[in-house]
Amino acid sequence: MMQNRDYELSIAIPASLVSDVPHLREKTTKISLVGRAAAIFCVNEIIVFPDFPDANQRRDIDLVATILAYMETPQYLRKRLFKIKPELRYAGILPPLRTPHHPLANRTKDLTVGEYREGAVLSLTEDGSLVDIGVERPVLIPNTKLPLNTRVTVKVTNLGKHSKATLANSDEIKAYWGYRVTVSNVPFGQLVKSRSFDLMVATSRYGTPLMKVAEELTKRWKKSRNILVAFGAPTQGLYDIVARENLKLNEVAHFTVNTIPNQGTETVRTEEALYTSLAILNLIIGK
């Protein structure tokens, strides 16, 4: 199981990721592939950005962000934290992530002291906050009053008839603990300039074959603490996307790489590029 790293990995995907499929069920399936890829390769953040500045992409952005956030939420918290939404009509076909923060154990007797769990605040008492952590009885966080339905990470400190826990920070957890979803209200070029990424890697069929810059990229990667890997859309790559902002991709990215040289198809779909690129980067970079 992947341990926590000393850097944060973000990926950026365009809102038009689902523009080439008409039906909500197909869109849901496509988005689920992104969520699974992020979990498999221990991505910390998925950024959804608008890639057609002259179009209203709010509907696609909301769809992608909602489904990805729903996937990342442990199953036992989903009904509590998500209202019925049309975007989630086909949520039943989403594959489970099976990450460490999605435990299968659902009984208090299966818990261990020191275990971390995701939870949601159920109610407040004189003694503190009662939190649902996916077992038959809530745990108490003593002397702490939290807003109802707030999602929290807790550490189990006492087991028994009245189990207790303390608030925890995901940074202290050794295992990979899921991704967060960020919606960008600005296009890609502005997004990169507004964030302090130590390393920005763009993927493109017109980029340098990855193995030609693998050594240089690895050295830069291992010195970085905040890394972004960005992907294009079904109908336009990152070169075209940044050109809409009167920018050049080499002005935005530290590396522009082709992870699928000599591709046999005219285009590579975003979700296909995700698996290919993250797998190869995982192989050459290592931990």
Query: What are the domain boundaries of the chain?
Result: 8-98+179-285, 108-169
Tell me the residue type at 26.
E
pTM of the predicted protein model: 0.94
Q: Rounded to 5 degrees, what are φ and ψ at 85? A: -130, 145
CATH number of 108-169: 2.40.50.140
What is 8-98+179-285's CATH topology?
Answer: Alpha/beta knot (3.40.1280)
Tell me the residue type at 119.
G
Would you give per-residue pLDDT tens digits along the chain (287 residues)? Answer: 555 678 999 999 999 999 888 999 999 999 999 999 999 999 999 999 999 878 888 999 999 999 999 999 999 999 999 999 999 999 999 999 999 999 999 999 999 999 999 999 999 999 999 999 999 999 999 999 999 999 999 999 999 888 999 999 878 899 999 999 999 999 999 999 999 899 999 999 999 999 999 999 999 999 999 999 999 998 899 999 999 999 999 999 999 999 998 888 878 899 999 999 999 999 998 75
Indicate the DSSP class of residue 262.
T
Q: What span, in angstroms and rounded, lies between the C-alpha atoms of 269 and 111? A: 42
Q: What span, in angstroms and rounded, lies between the C-alpha atoms of 132 and 153? A: 11
- Tell me if 93 sits within 8 A of 169, measured CB to CB: no
- Tell me if 27 sits within 8 A of 6, measured CB to CB: no
The predicted pLDDT at position 277 comes to 97
Beta pairing class for 45-49 and 139-142? unpaired
